[in-house]
Amino acid sequence: MRKRFLAVAAATVMTMSMAMTAMAAAPDGYDAYYSFDDTLDNGVSGGEAATLTGSKINDEVSATEPTYVEGASGKAIDLTGAGSYGVCLGKVITGEAFTVSFKVKIHAATDFTAVMFIESMNGDTSSENWLGMNAVNAGGTFDGTAPRLWSKYDATYFMATPQVEDTGIKLDTWHTVTYVQDGTTGTLYLDGQAIIKGNIQDADKEVNTSTYTIAQNLVNEDTRLFFGVNYWDTPFNGSIDEVYVYNKALTIEEVGQLHDTEITDTTTTPEIPEDVTFAPPQLADENDPNIFAVEEDAGEDEADNTMMIVIIAIVAVVVVVIIIAVVVASKKKNASSDDEE
C-alpha cells in the first residue's frame, strides 16, 4: 500500500509539473528558438545556429566554445563582460513587424552595454542604423537596473523607465523580456508589464530631431540580431536563455503566454514637445518627456492568484480520484485473495 501511495504522489508531482509547463508554453508560429541547453542550435527545423562574436561585433572571434550555466529553464549561455564574447543569431528578423523574447540574468550593468542589439549596418559603422535594449545602472536608486530602448538613425533617441522599483531589473535574478515592434510602435515588456512604448521607426517621414523618426529601415536584407555586444561598448555581463523570435507582432495575450501571466497594456505615449533636444543617453528622471510610464493594474495579481487556485483545485481533484481508485482496487484484490483461501 505504501508503494502505491508513493507512486500516486510521484504521479501528482508530474501532473502538476506538466500543468505548469503548459501554462508557460510559447505561442505557436515562432521563426527561431534558442534554448542554449549546451548548444547554439536553432530549435526550428532548418534554422541557422547561433555563432559567437568577439567582444565587439567587428572584433575577431577568440572564444571557441561558449560557457553554459544553470538557466531559467535547463541551461543558459553565460556572457562574462569585458574581454568576453557575444552571440549572433544572424538574420532571423525578416519583417517590419517582429517580436523578440528572452530570459535574462544580469550580474553587472553599465550605461551603454547592449543586452539585445538589432542592426542593419552590415559592419559599416559610418552609417548607424540600430536599436538596442540596455540595462542602465540605476546608481543605487533601487536594487538593480533600469531598462532602456536606445536607437539611432542619423539622430540618437532613447526611452528609459522611471527609477522606481516596480520597473527595475534586479541583479542576479531571472527576468523575462519581450520586445514587440509593430509598424512604427515599439513596446518593451518586463516580467508581465508593458513598461516602455513609443515611436521607433517611420520610413515615410524625414529623419531629423523634430520628427523623432529613428532606426528608419531597420529591417532589411542585412538585419542581424545580437545578444551581449554592439560595435562600441563593454560586452554584457550575465546570462541569456529561452530566446524566441517571431516575424510578427505578438498580441498582448500572446506576450502574456511568454511571461506566464495576463498582461494589460497600461503604457502611455505622451506628446513629445517639438522643442525637445536630444541629450547624450542617460537614465531619465520622472519628468523627462521621453519617459513612458506604467499605471498599476491592481487586478492582475488577483487574476493570477485565481488561475493558480483553479489549477491547484483541479490537480487536487485528480489526486483524490486516483487515490480512491487505488484504494478500491486494493480492497477488491484483498477480497479476491480471501475468497480463494
pLDDT digit string (tens) for 291-303? 333 333 334 444 4
Q: State how far Cα 26 lies from the chain centre.
A: 12
pLDDT at 327 over 70: no
Phi and psi, residue 236, nearest 5°: -70, 140
In this structure, are 243 and 309 located in the same domain? no
Q: Taking the alpha carbons of 294, 296, 299, 305 in that order, is the dihedral positive or negative? A: positive
Give the residue, 234 or 152, on which the prediction is more confident: 234
In this structure, are 36 and 13 located in the same domain? no
Give the residue, 281 or 198, on which the prediction is more confident: 198
Task: List, for residues 85-96, the tens digit of each pLDDT value.
Answer: 999 999 999 988
In this structure, are 166 and 310 located in the same domain? no
pLDDT at 102: 97
pLDDT at 144: 58
161 band by pLDDT with thresholds 50, 70 and 90: low
pLDDT at 108: 83
Residues 146 and 136: beta-carbon distance below 8 Å: yes
H/E/C letters for each residue in the chain? CHHHHHHHHHHHHHHHHHHHHHHCCCCCCCCEEECCCCCCCCCCCCCCCCEECCCCCCCCCCCCCCEEEECCCCEEEEEECCCCCCEEEECCCCCCCEEEEEEEEEEECCCCCEEEEEECCCCCCCCCEEEEEEEEECCCCCCCEEEEEEEEECEEEEEECCCCHHHCECCCCEEEEEEEEECCEEEEEECCEEEEEEECCCCCCCCCCCCCCCCCCCCCCCCEEEECCCCCCCCCEEEEEEEEEECCCCCHHHHHHHHCCCCCCCECCCCCCCCCCCCCCCCCCCCCCCCCCECCCCHHHHHHHHHHHHHHHHHHHHHHHHHHHHHHHHHHHHHHHHHHC
Task: List, for residues 40-58, the tens digit of each pLDDT value.
Answer: 999 999 999 999 999 999 9
pLDDT at 285: 40
Task: List, for residues 199-233, the tens digit of each pLDDT value.
Answer: 765 433 343 333 334 455 688 888 999 999 999 99
322 band by pLDDT with thresholds 50, 70 and 90: confident
Residues 198 and 185: beta-carbon distance below 8 Å: yes
Lowest average pLDDT, out of 148-152, 229-233, 275-279, goes to: 275-279
In this structure, are 10 and 74 located in the same domain? no
Phi and psi, residue 256, nearest 5°: -60, -35
Report the chain's C-alpha Rg in angstroms: 24
pLDDT at 269: 46
167 band by pLDDT with thresholds 50, 70 and 90: low
pLDDT at 334: 60
In this structure, are 337 and 245 located in the same domain? no
Across the chain, mean pLDDT equals: 73
Domain that holds residue 132: 31-297
CB burial of 97-110 (b: ≥16 within 10 Å; e: otherwise) equals bbbbbbbbbbebbb
Averaged pLDDT for residues 54-76: 94
Task: List, for residues 120-142, the tens digit of each pLDDT value.
Answer: 988 988 878 889 998 876 554 44
- The DSSP element (H or E) to which 11 belongs, if any, is helix 2-23
In this structure, are 290 and 308 located in the same domain? no
| Tally of CA atoms within 13 A in the half-sphere of 312 that contains its CB | 6
In this structure, are 97 and 219 located in the same domain? yes
In this structure, are 201 and 57 located in the same domain? yes
In this structure, are 265 and 150 located in the same domain? yes
In this structure, are 310 and 284 located in the same domain? no
| CA gap 85, 66 in Å, rounded | 8
pLDDT at 36 over 90: yes
pLDDT at 209: 37
**Considering its fold, how many domains does the chain have in total?**
2
In this structure, are 120 and 256 located in the same domain? yes
pLDDT at 308 over 90: no
Lowest average pLDDT, out of 36-40, 196-200, 246-250, 315-319, goes to: 315-319
In this structure, are 182 and 141 located in the same domain? yes
Q: What is the CATH number of the domain that holds 133?
A: 2.60.120.200
Confidence (pTM): 0.71
